[in-house]
Amino acid sequence: MAENWRQEYLRALPGVDVAVAAARQTGGEYFPHALLVRAVQEIVDSLRRQILRAANRDELVEFQSSPEAVACAALARLRQLKQPSLQRVINATGTVLHTNLGRARLAGAAKEAMQRAAGYCNLEMDLPAGRRGQRHTHVERLLTALTGAEAACVVNNNAAAVMLALNTLAAGKKVIVSRGELVEIGGSFRIPEVMAASGARLVEVGTTNKTHYGDYEQAVDEETALLLKVHTSNYRVVGFTAAVEVDELAVLGRSLGLPVMEDLGSGLLVDLSAFGLEREPLVAERIAAGVDVLTLSGDKLLGGPQAGIILGRRVFLERIKKNQLLRALRPDKVTLAALEATLQIYLFGEPLRDIPVLAMLTMPLATLKRRAERLASVLREKAPGNLTVAVREDYSFVGGGAMPLTRLPTFVVALRHKKMPQAEWVQKLRTGTPSLVGRVQADWLLLDPRTIEEAEEEEVVTCLT
Ligand SMILES: *Cc1c(COP(=O)(O)O)cnc(C)c1O
């Protein structure tokens, strides 16, 4: 038998009809009856759970369960449902590929292409021939022209690309991977688990820090289907290390008649090492090195939409394209449109200027300094009573699990609110319209102009003053 106080609280919960009537009496916005009833039920249910969970009466001192309180909570929930959940955010963190903020900011041409493709388009129609076409054809030639690969295909993300390629080439068979390359990315992509989900069997060779050619050679038997190399995108093994380069692995694969696949993670198409960034493998270099199947992300260093790109030799791509799983992993027209426009910039435009990710990563320090100082001086002028404003040297990061060692020198605007506690102020900025997210460091809020669009600077000032 439950305690008396608990019974009392449970008995005091209003009936759904009563709370719905109370909501109608507020005379506020009209919501359809079924929606309102459901929202009220959800609120009453959650109150009931709260009562049942409470360890003692004191936990419920602020408990509100009048019909009016329930009505008010239900209406608030419905009003929230009507607002867009995905909101624009001004990224002032300086992390260029901020996974929580949607990774790559897309190029203007990519946004326009998405808009164009949003209606009807020739996604799977060959217009001149008047026949059914294939969705892969829209970007395949651009990808092969850019990378030197024989064939290409696009799926939803790189995790899907890895899974599809492994499933096609090695389901039920063995795949050999170095122990130093069993990566976890973003908490949910783990090579051993993706491998298991694909139906392939993982054979680990070598050790965490050293894997040699002979380790692969010895592990191969008649059940082996594939040699896999995984780019350690988000960490580095340093000190006494040895890894087999992909060109050597390609030689071994050829001699044994086994395909060699590489999960490259970030797909870098242009060399950025002259700009102080780590030397990342270029996609075209890997194809030239003899990799048979290469997978990469569309929304990391490539700077396009979320997508997984599979490149490589035609024989293997033909098999991948025939896999039934591809039907479940295929990208939509809007994604393909954005990817096509992004790839066209690489081929025909000025990627360092027109692909925002690349422009941000290569932004000159003098520009960053000028923009930080300009923003700081406007803020000093507009909010002298509220803000302490300073300009400082700091570092930006690549993010998205790419180039983990690269710290890009930058200048930030460092701010402190003179009247509001920091946590409260930062939350207010985060939940404003537009939302402003910066980097908190001790009792300062840092705004890095690298990831703020020039056109957003005025809005940043409005958010802060
Ligand atoms: C990022 C990454 C992935 C996952 O790619 P998504 O596009 O996020 O699915 C897989 N492998 C490597 C090596 C990566 O860096």
Residue 413, ligand 1, Cβ within 6 A: no
> From the CA of 112, how far away is ligand 1's center (Å)?
26
> Where do the CATH 3.90.1150.180 domains begin and end in the chain?
89-97+360-464
Nearest ligand 1 atom to the CA of 298 is 7
pLDDT of residue 1: 54
HSE-up of residue 289 (Cα within 13 Å, Cβ side):
21
Distances (CA, A) of 34 to 23, 31, 84, 282: 13, 9, 21, 55
The residues, ordered by sequence, that sit 6+ positions from 59 with a Cβ below 8 Å of its Cβ are: none
DSSP conformation letters of 417-436 = ESSS-HHHHHHHHHTSSSEE
Class of domain 89-97+360-464: alpha beta
> Where do the CATH 3.40.640.10 domains begin and end in the chain?
108-354
Distances (CA, A) of 116 to 58, 105, 142, 372, 464: 59, 18, 19, 36, 35
- Compute the CA torsion angle 263, 336, 340, 346 (nearest 10 deg): -30
Residue 98, ligand 1, Cβ within 6 A: no
DSSP tag of 70:
H
Residue nearest to atom 14 of ligand 1 (CA): 265
pLDDT of residue 236: 81
Cα 426 to Cα 439: distance, rounded to the nearest angstrom: 9
Cα 166 to Cα 180: distance, rounded to the nearest angstrom: 19
> From the CA of 392, how far away is ligand 1's center (Å)?
33
Substitution candidate for ligand 1 out of 162, 166, 189, 329 with most atoms within 8 A of CB: 189
Q: Which CATH architecture has domain 108-354?
A: 3-Layer(aba) Sandwich (3.40)
Distances (CA, A) of 148 to 201, 248, 431: 30, 19, 46
Residue 312, ligand 1, Cβ within 6 A: no
Residues 75, 80, 84, CA angle at the centre, nearest 5°? Answer: 155
> From the CA of 261, how far away is ligand 1's center (Å)?
14
Residue 304, ligand 1, Cβ within 6 A: no
394: pLDDT strictly greater than 80: yes
The residues, ordered by sequence, that sit 6+ positions from 16 with a Cβ below 8 Å of its Cβ are: 37, 40, 41, 44
- In terms of Cβ atoms closer than 10 Å to its own Cβ (0-12, 13-18, 19+), residue 138 is buried
Residue nearest to atom 10 of ligand 1 (CA): 265
Q: In 3-state terms, what secondary structure has residue 407?
A: strand
Nearest ligand 1 atom to the CA of 299 is 7
Cα 33 to Cα 23: distance, rounded to the nearest angstrom: 11
Report if pTM > 0.85.
yes
pLDDT of residue 435: 97
Residue 375, ligand 1, Cβ within 6 A: no
Residue 342, ligand 1, Cβ within 6 A: no
**Mean pLDDT over all residues of the chain?**
94
Per-residue H/E/C for 85-96 = CCCCEEECCCEE
> From the CA of 267, how far away is ligand 1's center (Å)?
10
Per-residue pLDDT tens over the stretch 290-339: 999 999 999 999 999 999 999 999 999 999 999 999 999 999 999 999 99
The residues, ordered by sequence, that sit 6+ positions from 187 with a Cβ below 8 Å of its Cβ are: none
Confidence of residue 139 (pLDDT cuts 50, 70, 90): very high
Nearest ligand 1 atom to the CA of 183 is 13
